[in-house]
Structure 1
Amino acid sequence: MPRFTRRALWPCVAAAAVLVAAVLVAPGPAGAHGVALVPGSRTYLCYVDGLQANGQIIPSNPACADAVAQGGQQPLYDWFGVLRSDAGGRTTGYIPDGQICGGGTTKYAAYNAARTDWPTTHLTAGSTIQLHYSNWAAHPGTFHMYITKDGWNPLTPLAWGDLVPFWSVTDPPQSGGPGGFNYYYWDTTLPAAKTGRHILFIQWVRSDSQENFFSCSDVVFDGGHGEVTGVGGSQPSSSPSQSRSASPSVSVSPSASKTPSPPSSSSPSTGGGGGGCTATWQNVAINWAGHFQAEVTVKNTGSSTLNGWTVKWTYTGGQGFDGAPWNGTLTGQPPNVVVKNVDWNRVLGPNATTSFGFNGTGTAPATPPALTCTSP
Structure 2
Amino acid sequence: MSYRSRTAALLTAAATLLVAVVALTARSEPAAAHGAAMVPGSRTFLCWKDGLTPSGEIQPNNPACSAAVAQSGANSLYNWFSVLRSDADGRTVGFIPDGQLCSGGNPGFLGYDLARTDWPLTHLTAGRTMEFRYSNWAHHPGTFSFYITKDSWSPTRPLAWSDLEEQPFLTVTNPPQRGAVGTNDGHYYFTGTLPADKSGRHLIYSRWVRSDSPENFFGCSDVTFDGGNGEVTGVGPGGTIPPPTTPPPNPTTPPPHGGDCMAVYQVINSWPDGFQGEIMIMNHTTATWTEWTASWTWPSGQSIAQLWNGTHTSSGTSVTVTNAPYNGAVDPGGTTTFGFLASTTGTNALPTVTCTGH
The TM-score bracket by the shorter chain reads 0.5 to 0.7
1:85 aligns with 2:86: yes
The 5-angstrom pairing of residues 1-376 of structure 1 reads 20=9, 22-23=11-12, 25=14, 31-164=32-165, 165-180=168-183, 181-235=185-239, 249-250=240-241, 326=245, 328-331=246-249
TM superposition shift of 1:329: 4.4
Mapped contact 1:31–1:78 kept (Cα < 8 A): no
Shift in alpha-carbon separation, 1:110–1:191, aligned structure 2, 3 A: same
Shift in alpha-carbon separation, 1:331–1:206, aligned structure 2, 3 A: closer
Unaligned stretches of 5+ residues in structure 1: 1-18, 236-248, 253-324, 333-376
Distance (Å, rounded) in 1 between the aligned partners of 2:160 and 2:178: 33
Distance (Å, rounded) in 2 between the aligned partners of 1:108 and 1:250: 24
The code of the aligned residue for 1:101 comes to: C
Larger RCO (alpha carbons 8 Å, 6+ apart): 2
Distance (Å, rounded) in 2 between the aligned partners of 1:21 and 1:160: 33
Mapped contact 1:167–1:188 kept (Cα < 8 A): yes
Look up the match of 1:238: none
Give the % identical residues: 59
TM-score by length of 1: 0.57
TM superposition shift of 1:68: 1.1
TM superposition shift of 1:330: 1.6
The code of the aligned residue for 1:215 comes to: G
Q: Deviations over 1:90-135 (max 9, x none)?
A: 0001000000000101100000001110000000000001000001
Q: Deviations over 1:36-70 (max 9, x none)?
A: 00011000110111111111111000000111111
The code of the aligned residue for 1:168 comes to: T
Shift in alpha-carbon separation, 1:177–1:20, aligned structure 2, 3 A: closer
Mapped contact 2:129–2:194 kept (Cα < 8 A): yes
Shift in alpha-carbon separation, 1:171–1:118, aligned structure 2, 3 A: same
Shift in alpha-carbon separation, 1:21–1:133, aligned structure 2, 3 A: closer
Please provide the CA RMSD for this pair.
Answer: 2.5
TM superposition shift of 1:23: 3.6
TM-score by length of 2: 0.60
Mapped contact 1:49–1:231 kept (Cα < 8 A): yes
Q: Secondary structure at the match of 2:96?
A: coil
Q: Deviations over 1:245-301 (max 9, x none)?
A: xxxx3369xxxxxxxxxxxxxxxxxxxxxxxxxxxxxxxxxxxxxxxxxxxxxxxxx
Distance (Å, rounded) in 2 between the aligned partners of 1:65 and 1:122: 22
